[in-house]
Structure 1
Amino acid sequence: MILDITAPDLAVLIGRHGRTLESLQTLVSLLVSRKLGFRYPVSIDVEGYKGRRHDKVIGMAKSAAARAVAQGRTVNLPPMSAYERRLVHIALRDDDRIDTHSEGVDPERRVVITLR
Structure 2
Amino acid sequence: MTDTTPGTKGADTLSRLEQEGEIAADYLEGLLDIADLDGDIDMDVEADRASVSIIGETNSRDLQKLVGRDGEVLEALQELTRLAVHRETGDRSRLMLDIAGFRAQKREELAKVGASAAEEAKSTGQPVKLDPMTPFERKVVHDAVAAAGLRSESEGEEPQRRVVVLPA
Task: Give TM-score scaled by structure 1 length.
Answer: 0.81
Superposed, which structure 2 residues align to 1:1-116 within 5 Å? 1=21, 2-7=52-57, 8-9=60-61, 10-34=63-87, 36-39=88-91, 41=93, 42-96=95-149, 98-116=150-168
CA distance in 2, matches of 1:94, 1:25: 27
> 3-state DSSP class of the match of 2:54?
strand
Q: CA shift at 1:16, angstroms?
A: 2.8
Q: CA shift at 1:40, angstroms?
A: 6.8
Does the CA contact (< 8 Å) of 1:69 and 1:115 recur in 2? yes
For this pair of structures, how many residues does the alignment match?
114
Pick 1 or 2: higher relative contact order, CA cutoff 8 A, min separation 6: 1
Q: CA distance change for structure 1 residues 71 and 39 in 2, over 3 Å: closer, same or farther?
A: same
Q: Root-mean-square deviation (CA), in Å?
A: 2.1
CA distance in 2, matches of 1:57, 1:95: 13
> 3-state DSSP class of the match of 2:164?
strand
Q: CA shift at 1:44, angstroms?
A: 2.5
Question: 83-92 vs 52-61, which deviates more?
Answer: 83-92
CA distance in 1, matches of 2:107, 2:89: 31
Deviations 1:79-105 (A, max 9, x none): 111222122222222544x43111110
Q: Give the greater-gyration-radius structure (CA).
A: 2
Does the CA contact (< 8 Å) of 2:115 and 2:148 recur in 1? no
Gaps of 5+ in 1: none
Gaps of 5+ in 2: 1-20, 22-51
